[in-house]
Amino acid sequence: MNAYDAAQTMPDRSSRAVVEEELKVARGRRMQRIAQVAVGVLFLAFWELAAGPLIDPFFISEPSAVFAKLVDWIRRGELFSHLGITLYATVIGFAIGSVSGFSVGFIFGRYERVGAVFDPYITAIYCLPKIALAPLFIMWFGIGIESKIAMSAVIVFFLVFLNTYSGVRDVNPIHIHGTRIMGAGEWQLLVNVIAPSAAAWVLTGLKVSVPYALIGAVVGEFMSSNRGMGFVIAQSSALFDTAGVFAGLVVLAMVGGIINEGLKRFERHVLRWRG
Amino acid sequence: MAIEIQSVTKLFVRRGREVVALDDFSLSIGSGEFVAFVGPSGCGKSTLLNMIAGILEPTGGAIEHDGKVVQGPNRSVGYMTQADSLLPWRTAEDNVMLPLRLRGVSQSEARERVAALLATVNLSGFHKHFPNELSGGMRKRVALAQVLAYDPGTLLMDEPFGALDAQLKLVMQNELLAIWERTRKTVVFVTHDLAEAIALADRVIVFTGRPGRIKLEERIDLDRPRDVFRDRFSTRFQAIYERIWQALEPEIKKGEAL
């Protein structure tokens, strides 16, 4: 890195305007954090106070009970074994769905004829509510983890497929022609132009599909299973254990949030050229 | 001859109608010659350039470049357009390096040559910048360094400075001429700016409106090396401008009347 680059990336703290601007941004960010925490605390306090005098805790439980439930699950080691199974199905389903969705989307986008032939069938299956496939997967793969993987893979497949397809079709023809004239063969064109150009679309597809992979796995567990977070929630509900249902939801929401944040950072790094 | 255009015809079909872009067009361009194409929009000047580049195929006739008939992308030319052709996900340095890497130059040698090329176009210190962090003029400089990188004998330029403001345009013309003086590449330069064509070229080809044919060929006998900033105020320049404009004006008016 030469001096110019360094000057570009490091804020110039010798300037008062720069320092003031930085302070202003930091102050704004701090205020936002405080407001975020305040909203959460207020909500929990209202929930805790309302449970009982206003609404029957049978329906809404109360934060303290939900928290106690979570602590209880962790202490008995149940939480992480159930969560582990759900996450395992999510990750494998996501991997299978995204790799196959990417490959098929890429081929259809690159070879227009192939895409045109399969298009009506893909559209028909796409319009099908994927959850309606769950009974079929249970017949095919049983009530074990395989049917949950299939469920989540199918949902992920379509999201990644459609985005990859659009991304490959969206490549600027000037970039293709220019790079060919510069000497690129088909493979080099793919690596240097088509793949990076489609990356923004593909990443969007991947990002959107992560929560859906989780949904697929949990829905599969609702239908029939004896393990996993979906099972825990369904069982708590069957036993009228409202605190257990909420505790399960809290766990799923937290997992989803963590995964999303990770993806956001990954995307920011890969697409940093967008500035 | 560097480029031989042999009675080339190009037809397009648009909305069920036949459009004749070029009709029986012939032209020879000498090695090291700087030729400019001017004409009303839609006269087929860019189409012809794209056929020399091998992006489009002629409907009839043939184009020879360096004695070989052009078929498929022409890898022995440098091609520069008005639109940004730089890959936005590559830094300035990586963009200039791309043609070298595609042609099998090793990473370390390519890096060295890229540094020299960026210096040639006065862009040292911007190696690590992505195109969207550069100004329009800087992006043009990177694109110029990119086509110079693999040292093609011919440069095809399709209104390369069309999107720049008036002053910057002159600066870029000046730098292009300086590079051309040193390297003496064959240049085919498409523009709708008559003053730009005269300031740069050895020969200006005026196209008729669609279908494109040659309306006028004018040799520009201004002394080299030229000064793009001042030449345009000389009486010789203005006489040439007037003569070519006489031929160009009715073609442009014809297009407007449609």
Q: Is the pLDDT of residue A6 over 70?
A: no
Is there a domain that residue A181 lies in?
A: yes
Q: Do B130 and A182 touch (CB under 8 A)?
A: no
Q: Which residue pairs, CB below 8 angstroms and at least 24 apart, start in B26-31?
A: B26/B61, B27/B3, B27/B205, B27/B214, B28/B1, B28/B3, B28/B4, B29/B1, B29/B2, B29/B3, B29/B4, B29/B5, B29/B186, B29/B188, B30/B1, B30/B2, B30/B186, B31/B1, B31/B2, B31/B153, B31/B186
Mean pLDDT for chain A?
Answer: 88
Looking at the structure, tell me whether residues A38 and A102 fall in a common domain: no
Is there a domain that residue A208 lies in?
A: yes
Instruction: Tell me, yes or no, if A100 comes closer than 8 A to chain B by beta carbon.
Output: no
Average pLDDT over residues B168-187: 93
At residue B11, φ and ψ (nearest 5 deg) are -110, 140
Q: Is the pLDDT of residue B102 over 90?
A: yes
Q: Is the pLDDT of residue B181 over 60?
A: yes
Q: Is the pLDDT of residue A4 over 60?
A: no
Looking at the structure, tell me whether residues A89 and A15 fall in a common domain: no
Q: Do A273 and B128 touch (CB under 8 A)?
A: no
CATH of the domain at A151: 1.10.3720.10
Q: Which three-class secondary structure string do you get for chain B? A: CCEEEEEEEEEEEECCEEEEEEEEEEEEECCCCEEEEECCCCCCHHHHHHHHCCCCCCCEEEEEECCEECCCCCCCEEEEECCCCCCCCCCHHHHHHHHHHHCCCCHHHHHHHHHHHHHHCCCCCCCCCCHHHCCHHHHHHHHHHHHHHCCCCEEEEECCCCCCCHHHHHHHHHHHHHHHHHHCCEEEEECCCHHHHHHHCCEEEEECCCCECEEEEEECCCCCCCCCCCHHHCHHHHHHHHHHHHHHHHHHHHHHHC
Tally of residues, chain B: 258
Looking at the structure, tell me whether residues A41 and A79 fall in a common domain: no
Looking at the structure, tell me whether residues A10 and A82 fall in a common domain: no
* B190-214 pLDDT tens trace: 998 999 999 999 999 999 988 889 9
**In chain B, which among 55-74 make CB contacts under 8 A with chain A?**
55, 73-74
The predicted pLDDT at position A275 comes to: 62
- Chain A residues whose CB is inside 8 A of the B84 CB are 174
Instruction: Tell me, yes or no, if B77 comes closer than 8 A to chain A by beta carbon.
Output: yes
Looking at the structure, tell me whether residues A137 and A25 fall in a common domain: no
Looking at the structure, tell me whether residues A192 and A266 fall in a common domain: yes
Q: Do B133 and A275 touch (CB under 8 A)?
A: yes
Is there a domain that residue A58 lies in?
A: no
List the beta bridge partners of residue B188.
Answer: B35, B156
Distance from CA of B114 to the nearest CA of A (A): 15
- Chain A residues whose CB is inside 8 A of the B146 CB are 182
Q: How confident is the model at residue A10 (pLDDT cuts 50, 70, 90)?
A: low
Among the listed residues A123, A139, A191, the one whose alpha carbon sits nearest the alpha carbon of residue B102: A191
Highest mean pLDDT among A204-213, B121-130, B141-150: B141-150
* B11-42 pLDDT tens trace: 999 888 998 999 999 999 999 999 999 998 88
* B48-66 pLDDT tens trace: 999 999 999 999 999 999 9
Q: How confident is the model at residue A73 (pLDDT cuts 50, 70, 90)?
A: very high
Q: Do B87 and A192 touch (CB under 8 A)?
A: yes
The predicted pLDDT at position A3 comes to: 44
What torsion do the CA atoms of B59, B60, B65, B69 make, to the nearest 10 degrees? 90
The predicted pLDDT at position A91 comes to: 93
Q: Could you say which DSSP state residue A55 is in? A: B
- ipTM field: 0.88
Evaluate if pTM is beyond 0.80.
no
Looking at the structure, tell me whether residues A8 and A113 fall in a common domain: no
Q: Do B89 and A174 touch (CB under 8 A)?
A: no
Is there a domain that residue A78 lies in?
A: yes
Q: Is the pLDDT of residue A202 over 70?
A: yes
Average pLDDT over residues B119-146: 90
Query: What is the share, in percent, of chain A residues with pLDDT greater than 70?
Result: 96
Looking at the structure, tell me whether residues A24 and A85 fall in a common domain: no
Q: Is the pLDDT of residue A35 over 70?
A: yes
Name the domain count of chain A. 2
Q: Is the pLDDT of residue B170 over 60?
A: yes
Among the listed residues B149, B135, B126, B132, the one whose alpha carbon sits nearest the alpha carbon of residue B80: B149
Query: What is the share, in percent, of chain B residues with pLDDT greater than 70?
Result: 99
Q: How confident is the model at residue A8 (pLDDT cuts 50, 70, 90)?
A: low
Looking at the structure, tell me whether residues A163 and A80 fall in a common domain: yes
**In chain B, which among 95-134 make CB contacts under 8 A with chain A?**
98-99, 102-103, 125-133
Is there a domain that residue A60 lies in?
A: no
Residue B15: both structure tokens together:
């909305």
> The domain containing residue A142 runs over which residues?
67-274
Q: How confident is the model at residue A2 (pLDDT cuts 50, 70, 90)?
A: very low
Q: Between chain A and chain B, how many beta carbons pairs sit less than 8 Å apart? A: 70
Q: Do B53 and A181 touch (CB under 8 A)?
A: yes
- Chain B residues whose CB is inside 8 A of the A273 CB are 88-91, 130-132
Is there a domain that residue A95 lies in?
A: yes
Q: How confident is the model at residue A9 (pLDDT cuts 50, 70, 90)?
A: low
- Report the alpha-carbon distance of residue B37 to residue B188 in Å, rounded: 7
Q: Which of A183, A197, A199 sits opposite B99 (nearest CB)?
A: A183
Q: Give per-residue burial for A142-158: e unless 16+ CB within 10 Å, then b.
A: ebebbbbbbbbbbbbbb
Looking at the structure, tell me whether residues A111 and A31 fall in a common domain: no
Q: Do A182 and B150 touch (CB under 8 A)?
A: yes
List the beta bridge partners of residue B155.
Answer: B78, B187
Looking at the structure, tell me whether residues A216 and A141 fall in a common domain: yes
Instruction: Tell me, yes or no, if A274 comes closer than 8 A to chain B by beta carbon.
Output: yes
- Report the alpha-carbon distance of residue B192 to residue A130 in Å, rounded: 56
Looking at the structure, tell me whether residues A31 and A84 fall in a common domain: no
* A96-138 pLDDT tens trace: 999 999 999 988 988 889 988 988 998 888 888 888 888 899 8
Is there a domain that residue A62 lies in?
A: no
Is there a domain that residue A55 lies in?
A: no
The predicted pLDDT at position B85 comes to: 86
